[in-house]
Amino acid sequence: MEAPKAAVHLNLEKARWRAALSANTVRWLLVLILAWSAGGKLFWPERFGGLLRGLGMIPQALVAPIQYGLPPLELILALALASHVGRTAALFATIFLGLAFAGVHGLVLISGTVVPCGCAGIAVRWDSPWAHVLVATVCGFMAVSSTGLLFSDRPGAPSRCR
Amino acid sequence: MLAYARIPERSALLLLVNLSALGLGLGRPEERVIQAIQGRLEATGKLYVEFQWYQCWAPRKSDPFDSRGWLHADEPEGTVYNLDCRLWLVRPDLKFHLRGPLTWNRDITQSWVDGLRTSKSLQDGGAWSVVIDEERWNLFGPVPFLTLVEVEIFDIRQSLLELLQAGHVHVETESADAVRLSGKLPHEGGALPWVVRASLDPSRGCLPTELEAEAAIPNRRGTIRWHMKAIRSVPVNDTHAPAEAIIALGAPQEPDRYLIYHYRAITVEGRPGLSKSDLTFQIPERNVTIVDEVNLYTRSISAEGKVYNEEKWTREQRDRDLALIRQSFTDSLGAKAILASRQRMFSLMVIGCGVTVVALVGAWVWRRQRLRYT
């Protein structure tokens, strides 16, 4: 009787480790995406502002706040996810950003005019429909995986992301 | 009914007109008003007006007709104008001269004689720009002072008399103190769906004391509203002309403020000797660029009198060029509408994202509480 019990325990442990590993992988992927996305925008805010204006869907009054506010926010979210400080709030904010970015790309695709968006940073200037589909998928992944991370934890239990 | 006009004996013509206007109580009220206005416009048919035109802003929350609420400075945009103006009127022809700190021109003279518009304006570099064409609508910008001499109503290129005659405006109420008119204008061919209201003073020859024009701009781009009140009037040739008036413009692109135009007449004179020849003016011979859309040429002449650029067009060429200009203008309007619709979609999308996140927060809190007790 001892052997199967130990085997079950081992299997459970393995499953826990796998779940923790995949949660950690997802978390670090999110950190990477957010940090990468923030990088170029932080260093070249003027070019990012130009790209925002080029999108033609953000009201003029919001361009400057987004231009200077979004890159630090992305960096803060990346740091929060990496360090677990304010992790829950960071995940909710990442869901919002992921949905909003995916929505922007969806609107660009609907409008039929592709534009370099700056979502993936300044260095990568994709401006083809497929690039928008790809970036929208990445943004969707941000939102879905953040939701998954939030809802995979049990209250009181240690977080799966370690 | 007798309140329609204060009719001095010396104007036999006006007496006849007003008697017919009164019509011994017969006829439709519109006809009586038309006759009374016709009499007025005939009396002011040959007119010289010298006036000051002041332009500033007022907060939307304030009463635009109370000058204490006006905002007099708007630097560095320079949108506060104080123009000295002169106008010679031989209805329907006219000439006017504006001088003052306008942002784009300091000195403008324009005339409309026998269907020909001539415009002369001083450019920033000190050169003159002359344009000759047959476009009456070009005459009326940049300031709506022609409303005060009843040539047009604000942005509407017709006078109140023309609107009445066309049956677009009707008499709403009629009393000894005021005749109130209102009507909706047809808006085919891209014209705005104007709603016009007017209040006339029968004791001053049906002088418009209040005028309002309001239109909803298509594609839900807001409402434009013009409102004029005549504060003072001055007797001219047995009738009355406005001597002081305020026009408030509520434009959708300026949701927080009114644009105020303050008209103050210095001289309003009936000049029976005025003729069409007084409405023409000298076109500069040096330091000028002339664009003549009637004879189809453009010519630039240097300060020394040397022609340094000359171009002639055929009618087809010019029509094509003008069509392109009109097309690019229409396209730019279309682009603005597309931009507005994209911004609306963006706002809706962001609101949707916010609602989704709030719902997720709710679900997350609910799940935590449920798991805590299981």
Task: Among A70, A88, A96, A139, pick the best mutation site for testing chain B contact (most B Cβ within 10 A).
Answer: A96
Q: Compute, in degrees rounded to 10, the torsion defined by CA atoms B104, B109, B110, B111.
A: 180
- The whole-number pLDDT of residue A45 equals 84
- CA A3 to chain B, closest CA, distance in angstroms equals 30
Taking an 8 Å cut-off on Cβ atoms, the answer to whether B349 and A103 are in contact is yes
Is the Cβ–Cβ distance between B174 and B195 less than 8 Å?
no
- CA A126 to chain B, closest CA, distance in angstroms equals 21
Tell me: cis bond preceding B29? Omega within 30 of 0 counts: no
Mean pLDDT value of segment B99-120: 83
Burial of A60 (0-12, 13-18, 19+ CB in 10 A): exposed
Q: Fill in the amino acid letter for A108.
A: V
**3-state SS, residue A98:** helix
Alpha-carbon distances, residue B56 vs B73, B83, B98, B259, B261 (angstroms)? 7, 12, 17, 6, 7
pLDDT (tens digit, 9 = 90+) per residue, B23-77?
444 457 788 889 889 988 999 999 999 999 888 889 999 999 998 888 876 554 5
Boundaries of every domain in chain A: 2-150
Closest CA to B130 of B158, B113, B114, B111: B111
Do the bridges between strand B128-133 and strand B288-292 make them parallel or antiparallel, or are there none, so unpaired? parallel
How far, in Å, CA of A151 to CA of B304, rounded?
83
Ranking A53-57, A106-110, B201-205 by mean pLDDT, the lowest is A53-57
B158 has a pLDDT exceeding 60: yes
Closest CA to B245 of B109, B180, B154: B154
pLDDT (tens digit, 9 = 90+) per residue, B179-236?
999 999 988 777 788 999 999 999 998 999 999 999 988 766 788 999 999 999 999 9
pLDDT (tens digit, 9 = 90+) per residue, B357-369?
999 999 999 998 8
Taking an 8 Å cut-off on Cβ atoms, the answer to whether A96 and B357 are in contact is yes
pLDDT (tens digit, 9 = 90+) per residue, B235-285?
998 899 999 999 999 988 888 899 999 999 999 999 999 999 999 999 999
- CA B121 to chain A, closest CA, distance in angstroms equals 34
* A149 neighbourhood in chain B, CB within 8 Å: none
- The whole-number pLDDT of residue B4 equals 44
- The whole-number pLDDT of residue B6 equals 47
- The whole-number pLDDT of residue A132 equals 82
Closest CA to A54 of A120, A100, A108: A108
Taking an 8 Å cut-off on Cβ atoms, the answer to whether A154 and B350 are in contact is no
Confidence band, pLDDT 50/70/90 cuts, at residue A157 = low
- The whole-number pLDDT of residue A125 equals 54
Angle at B124 between CA B120 and CA B130, to 5 degrees: 20
Size of the A and B interface in Cβ pairs below 8 Å:
53
- The whole-number pLDDT of residue A158 equals 55
Taking an 8 Å cut-off on Cβ atoms, the answer to whether A92 and B357 are in contact is yes
Confidence band, pLDDT 50/70/90 cuts, at residue A31 = very high
pLDDT (tens digit, 9 = 90+) per residue, B62-96?
999 998 888 876 554 545 678 889 999 999 899 99
How far, in Å, CA of B120 to CA of B95, rounded?
11
Taking an 8 Å cut-off on Cβ atoms, the answer to whether A59 and B350 are in contact is no
B3 has a pLDDT exceeding 50: no
Greatest alpha-carbon pair distance for chain B in Å reads: 104
Mean pLDDT value of segment B106-135: 89
Cα torsion angle, B258, B264, B270, B275, sign = negative
A121 has a pLDDT exceeding 70: no
Which of A100, A111, A154 minimises the CB distance to B350?
A: A100
- The whole-number pLDDT of residue A2 equals 53
Task: Among B350, B351, B355, pick the best mutation site for testing chain A contact (most A Cβ within 10 A).
Answer: B350
How far, in Å, CA of A40 to CA of B16, rounded?
82
Taking an 8 Å cut-off on Cβ atoms, the answer to whether A92 and B339 are in contact is no
Say how many Å lie between the first and final Cα of chain A, rounded.
Answer: 33
Among B residues 334-363, those touching chain A with beta carbons less than 8 Å apart: 338-339, 342-343, 345-347, 349-350, 352-354, 356-357, 360-361, 363
- The whole-number pLDDT of residue B369 equals 87
Q: Compute, in degrees rounded to 10, the torsion defined by CA atoms B216, B221, B222, B225.
A: -60
pLDDT (tens digit, 9 = 90+) per residue, A69-105?
999 999 999 999 999 899 999 999 999 999 999 998 8
The beta strands (E) that lie in chain B are given as: 46-59, 81-90, 93-99, 107-113, 116-122, 128-133, 170-174, 179-184, 195-201, 207-216, 223-236, 239-250, 257-270, 288-292, 297-301, 307-312
The one-character DSSP state at A158 is P
Share of chain B above pLDDT 70, in %: 87
- The whole-number pLDDT of residue A160 equals 52
How far, in Å, CA of B121 to CA of B127, rounded?
9
- The whole-number pLDDT of residue B205 equals 87
